[in-house]
Structure 1
Amino acid sequence: MLKRKLSRLLPCMIISFTLVFSASSGFSASVADSQQLKSQIDNSKKISSFDSAKSETALFSSVENDVKKVIKANTDFAFDIFKAINLEDSEKNVLISPLSISTALSMVYQGAGGSTRGEMETAMRYNGLDINTINRAYGSLLPYLRNIDPDVNLGISNSIWYRNRFNINSSFLQINRNIFNSHVEAIDFGSHGAINTINSWVANATNGMIPQMLNAPIPSQTVMYLINALYFKGRWTNVFDETLSFNGNFRTGKNEYKSIVYMKKTDTMDYGQGEDYKAIRLPYGSGSTAMYCILPDDGVSINDYIISLNTQKWNQIRQSIENTEDVKLILPRFKIEYGEISLNNALAALGMEEAFLPGANFSGIAPGIFISRINHKALIEVNENGTEAAAITAGVLFGSTPPPDNEFIATRPFIFVIADEGKGNILFMGKAFELSQY
């Protein structure tokens, strides 16, 4: 019997941005706007507490259209940045957390101006959305996700740490407090305790999975860290029987064979297929979040299939899935560690270039700052009990259809997505290209 057990089932994501001086020198969202939005959101929360069956309707009643628009933009962004990153790492496994990246970029976006802001809107697929629409949506989405399911722990934490005596626009800090519930603190970056203070926050926000993010010393140009942490703890609604797990070969994307452990079950499951894929949905907890595994047909390149992915196709895949009897599922037990990679090129390919140059306009934060780099690292474990995943993204602002057979046998590369089932937020997205024994 296989005795491997999962003690902690949690994906988490860290996004950090370090702001420092550069050669560059408006800011349209006001503190009054953000305070009014926070008041509306808080009122919705009070209403929602009366009846759990009505809580979601009450929470989103005044901002439902805004939420839908931002989720649509974030989903478009998720597939676009996933495809851009996959082009750079077509011969490797890939893993990102689109929601965490979107949230952290949205925090920074509050202080962007001029053409820098326009390019960020293009990259994040926010064109046509005013900043109040975006903030109303996040002000509702974040509490919703934190309370998505009593059987699933999904934590989203934000913080801003800036060098003491450095003049940061107070409106920028207040909006991040109001909308993103950010912890804001000025500290002495030259002190030995600064690293420990920030790393302690990181460890707490990730339940100890990521004990530290920074190493001493902090560069003298650094003036600010903006951090988003996404923490998920779940367990399959229906776990796999470990006694059925077996050894077998996985055909990698390089047409090599690796011996791995497969999990197995035959049961009534959420299963679907289309003209070039099969898909399975594996829920966590009470079903409010789930992992989707998408297996392109044999002969269809995993990378070619990823190029074809977009929000429309994602919706078609989800709609094709239905509760089906006697589904045979064989899925690898796998562990993927991805990165550390830079997201600069991927974001630039989506239209966000100026933010990385000394002439960037982040005057809503402070004059003369720009993004130097945004790095990303991620890890995921999938086994008989559930999923454990973590990701770190650090950004530096420096100066033909086969007949149905009801089988999902993933013995070759496949795509996986962890999603919120209520609103459609994509939490994690990855490509299993080359697996080894785990």
Structure 2
Amino acid sequence: MKGDMGQEDRQALDINLDSVASYSCELGLMSIAARLLKNGCTDMGSFVVSPACLYIAVETLARGAKGETLNELESVLGGAEARRDACSLLFAKDPEQTASDYRLAIATSLWANKFTSPLRRNFGRTIADLHGKAAEVDFESSEAKALMSSWLSKNTSGKFTSAPEMDADTVFAIISALYFKDSWVDPLDDEDIEVVFRAPEPQSDVAMMGGFGSYGHLLSTREAIAVSWPMQSGAVAVFAMSNNGATLDDFVQSGAAWDAILRCHMRMGTTRPKGGIELFVPQFELRSDDRDLGGMLRSLGIEKTFSPGADFGNITEADAMVSRVVQNAVLKLDPNGAEGAAYTIFVVPAGCAPEPMPEPVRVVFDRPFAFAIFSHSGAPLFVGVYRGA
């Protein structure tokens, strides 16, 4: 099926974003993606993180929050309408035309201490539309660890197989999970590529891949160059780099990187070159382990959640507060396509004949760049930067 698209599929690529909610209604999910990209670039290395996976964990928490705690969470999630729209993007029906190995799975779970914080009777129903599971467990038992690990492995297609250990004083824990795999519409080639990636610091050789495509879109401004490279399901990878000499850090920290990524994805000011696009980009496998996201959530205005005054009365009667928010993520891009997985955990203790074909537009990502992966419905699944290692 690779590279073989009928007329309906071509049209689907052109109108893919018609199913996306208006930009104003995406502010919660998209603003989280923007902040994650900016905050992650404070590290010196490459990284990857999943906005979608974090959003679902926060949404799960909000379903159980009340009062000021809920108000703060909604201020980040974007309000009731934006929350509905975001969930519609994240849990959109699978497209009819996909590669045989395509999969996008998003799920959430809440595990409560059966002795100290039994669940409200109907909370499981509250998160059912998030592909949610709610269970009461004994956090000191090996059975609890096994149950959570089994759930995590199933929902990340085996990319993560061991759930974190929980202390006996844990009131409840939320674990959200995401798995994604798709194939390029126009596969890339990793043989006889002469382009060399120019990393800011000496690095081992970076394997490049390249190829020609007719369905990608190009954004070229004084500030940035960005390219979208579509996948069989309608999902899209977007790569962006500065075009004015700015360093990657400045490009990302100023917000220009996310602006270029989003404009390219939304096809705002983009072109589809008549000669197609000849793309060169590194193939890579990135992994981010135990990335602390609590500080980022606090910077967005979520404070009550992390304080003894937090109110999660729709989950349990027990007093509780979030003590830790951590995410693990992995993303692989190769000549065939993309595969990635992530999980986020909230730990809560007490408190047309054609004319001669023009030359393709050649776009070479041979220096550090930012990237994002969007689902077929437009949800930001992964964002990150690549520096060469």
| Structures share fold, TM-score greater than 0.5 | yes
Are the counterparts in 2 of residues 120 and 352 from structure 1 also a CA contact under 8 Å?
yes
Say which of 373, 381, 384 aligns to 1:427.
381
Q: Would you say 1:292 and 2:247 are equivalent positions?
A: no
Say which of 101, 105, 129 aligns to 2:58.
105
CA distance in 1, matches of 2:252, 2:341: 22
Q: Which amino acid aligns with 2:303?
A: E
CA spacing shift, 1:330–1:315, aligned 2, 3 Å: closer
CA spacing shift, 1:379–1:148, aligned 2, 3 Å: farther
Say which of 100, 112, 131 aligns to 1:181.
131
- Aligned pairs (5 A) from 1:263-412: 263-270=209-216, 271-286=218-233, 288-297=234-243, 299-309=245-255, 313-318=260-265, 319=267, 320-324=269-273, 325-366=275-316, 367-399=318-350, 406-412=361-367
Normalised by the length of structure 2, the TM-score is 0.82
After superposition, the CA RMSD in angstroms is: 2.8
CA distance in 2, matches of 1:394, 1:268: 40
Q: What is the CA deviation profile of residues 247-302 of structure 1, one whole-angstrom value per residue up to 9, with x for unaligned ones?
A: x64322x444542121122454523311211111111114x101011121262111
CA distance in 2, matches of 1:243, 1:350: 45
Partner of 1:31: none
Normalised by the length of structure 1, the TM-score is 0.73
Partner of 2:13: none
CA spacing shift, 1:278–1:105, aligned 2, 3 Å: same
Are the counterparts in 2 of residues 146 and 155 from structure 1 also a CA contact under 8 Å?
no
Partner of 1:3: none
CA spacing shift, 1:298–1:68, aligned 2, 3 Å: closer
Q: Which amino acid aligns with 1:299?
A: G
Query: Which stretch has the larger CA shift, 387-396 or 230-239?
Result: 387-396
Are the counterparts in 1 of residues 284 and 334 from structure 2 also a CA contact under 8 Å?
yes
- Aligned pairs (5 A) from 1:52-131: 70-87=25-42, 89=43, 91-124=44-77, 126=78, 129-130=79-80
Partner of 2:179: 231
CA distance in 1, matches of 2:96, 2:227: 22
Q: What is the CA deviation profile of residues 364-389 of structure 1, one whole-angstrom value per residue up to 9, with x for unaligned ones?
A: 22331000011122222211111222
* Deviation of 1:72 (Å): 3.2
* Deviation of 1:405 (Å): 8.8
Count the aligned residue pairs: 355
Q: Which amino acid aligns with 1:116?
A: T
Q: What is the CA deviation profile of residues 134-186 of structure 1, one whole-angstrom value per residue up to 9, with x for unaligned ones?
A: 56446644441555753331111222222224332234333112x32312222
Percent of aligned pairs sharing the same letter: 23
CA spacing shift, 1:380–1:291, aligned 2, 3 Å: same
Q: Which amino acid aligns with 1:174?
A: R
Partner of 2:144: 194
Q: Which runs of 5+ in 2 are unaligned?
A: 1-18, 351-358
Partner of 1:33: none
Query: Which stretch has the larger CA shift, 316-325 or 96-105?
Result: 316-325
